[in-house]
Homo-oligomer: A and B are copies of this chain.
Amino acid sequence: MAKVADKPFFPKPFLSFLVLSIIFGFGITLSEAGFPKIKHYKWDVEYMFWSPDCVENIVMGINGEFPGPTIRANAGDIVVVELTNKLHTEGVVIHWHGILQRGTPWADGTASISQCAINPGETFTYRFVVDKAGTYFYHGHLGMQRSAGLYGSLIVDPPEGRSEPFHYDEEINLLLSDWWHQSVHKQEVGLSSKPMRWIGEPQSILINGKGQFDCSIAAKYNQGLKQCELSGKEKCAPFILHVQPKKTYRIRIASTTALASLNFAIGNHELLVVEADGNYVQPFVTSDIDIYSGESYSVLITTDQNPLENYWVSIGVRARLPKTPPGLTLLNYLPNSASKLPISPPPETPHWEDFDRSKNFTFRIFAAMGSPKPPVRYNRRLFLLNTQNRINGFMKWAINNVSLALPPTPYLAAMKMRLNTAFNQNPPPETFPLNYDINNPPPNPETTTGNGVYKFNMGETVDVILQNANMLNPNMSEIHPWHLHGHDFWVLGYGEGKFYAPEDEKKLNLKNPPLRNTVVIFPYGWTAIRFVADNPGVWAFHCHIEPHLHMGMGVVFAEGVHMVGMIPPKALACGSTALVKNYPRLP
């Protein structure tokens, strides 16, 4: 229904795109994949009544589904999504999280950055290549529409005829999210109010869009909640992981939470981590994984436990005082009934404040052998200080004392068309004062909004040192998962306190740093990443916590915009770009 056709040929308009892409050197992996297939989807986005956690609410769904339909393709395939906005008053865009959008920066799905939001009643066609195998997802990227439920999975298999570098019999896909009962519109108003009203902790953790709010499927271990009475057909009935004994399963786990950092564990089963954010990692065994918003992992499990029992899958909250019960479901060893509950309690989520444990896990992630290595030297280095601030009593987050306020005209078109009034032409500061004390609240918390862009020379190697700091209140510093659009980056290292180049530089891992698209900064710590600015376009880099981004916690990167091909006119139907005369439009 949703998928219209798998067409193993190039339609004409796309041929010219391909030719352009080849001329410009944007790698479409033809060589690997032979002829790419076209995966064609037609989607309608609309609100609908739904009970994600057994409490009825409205969610932003796609084609009547929540989460949206799963996209599945082979690396090198072309994904085409004709997205129609059936909302009544809101614009919409969809970001394809982890897809690099080489040659198609206008398809990155970021309102105000890569395109105009799609207006109610209008259709925009996303068309892009899925470069490499991996576990990805998609989500809204306007206001807080991700929090409203606009997300789904995007799974890329290796090119046809190729296999993954590890063996498994079957796979199971889990998309994790958090859910509030208060409407996203109210949440947005609260965040923009003076004094700010914080959204609070989520009511529920959802596994593939399913959670249980006022009951538990493990009530006897969760005092205060009654046992859920679910037939399995309810929208909130848990997504059961049905497995056969004595097999190896790949479990794909992606987190599109608005806020929660999660921990994932399966009772009695070890996890062999093999993939992170669409990149293979050096396999390692762990009892549980931490997963931050914007990240994805693949783990292998072997169903070698007592086949007469079922086992808990438990997803708890980390890094914030958890008021949210863990998301629970079952690893159901067939042919056992899925209603047979495990004999022992669900795995306990590690203590929320045990950051050492989180770091231990994170520090074990290295690139798989044969992965691309980072350039040895950087050409440019940014130091980005993360601070919580105020502007006239409104609470904000700022980077180097600039809180991002997105302009109405999208950057990509504005830069290509040289609309110099569309945003501040002065780039934001590349660093922060040397003597800034990250261990105390900002001495002058007042900040300013800005919309300048960090511009890179095409092909240069960029290092970013993300520097965490104390928040407005003393003795508080939070986790922030930073996500980069249009690139994977190498995670060169993490450290405590303020990055001190002479010493910390030496500790950076240039040997086997993992490639990621999302990386966390720990409280009071720094994280160093490196990437090559080789993807013409304009790219968001931001904290993936939805309310933090909403409060300004992001920056905008750009490179090689002069090399960008013709932006589809429909991506320009707003702001100053809609008013420009000399751009190809309808004949």
Contacts and interface: CB of A to CB of B under 8 A. Distances in A.
List 8 A-B pairs, minimum CB-CB distance, nearest first.
Answer: A573-B578, A121-B408, A89-B143, A88-B143, A89-B90, A578-B578, A581-B585, A122-B408
A145 B88 CA distance: 10
A193 to B, nearest CB: 6
Contact of A193 (B49, B185, B407): B49
Given A121-B406, A142-B89, A185 B183 contact: yes
A95 to B, nearest CB: 14
A587 B581 contact: yes
Contact of A90 (B90, B183, B579, B585): B90
Nearest to A90: B89
A408 B119 contact: yes
A18 interface: no
A575 interface: yes
A549 to B, nearest CB: 12
Interface residues on A, range: 35 or more
Nearest to A48: B189
Interface in A84-130: 88-92, 112, 116-117, 119-122
Contact of A586 (B92, B406, B580): B580
A58 interface: yes
A507 interface: no
A116 B117 CA distance: 13
A502 to B, nearest CB: 44
A506 B145 CA distance: 58
Nearest to A406: B121
Interface string A210-247: 00000000000000000000000000000000000000
A119 B58 CA distance: 23
Interface string A258-292: 00000000000000000000000000000000000
Contact of A145 (B89, B91, B569, B585): B89
A181 interface: no
A47 interface: yes
Interface string A167-185: 0000000000000000101
20 contacts: A47-B189, A49-B190, A88-B143, A88-B144, A88-B188, A88-B192, A89-B92, A89-B117, A89-B143, A89-B145, A90-B90, A91-B119, A116-B119, A117-B120, A121-B408, A183-B183, A569-B578, A573-B575, A576-B586, A581-B585
Interface in A56-104: 58, 88-92
A338 interface: no
A541 B89 CA distance: 20
B188 A122 contact: no
Contacts of A188: 47, 88
Nearest to A112: B121
A525 B575 CA distance: 47
A122 B116 CA distance: 12
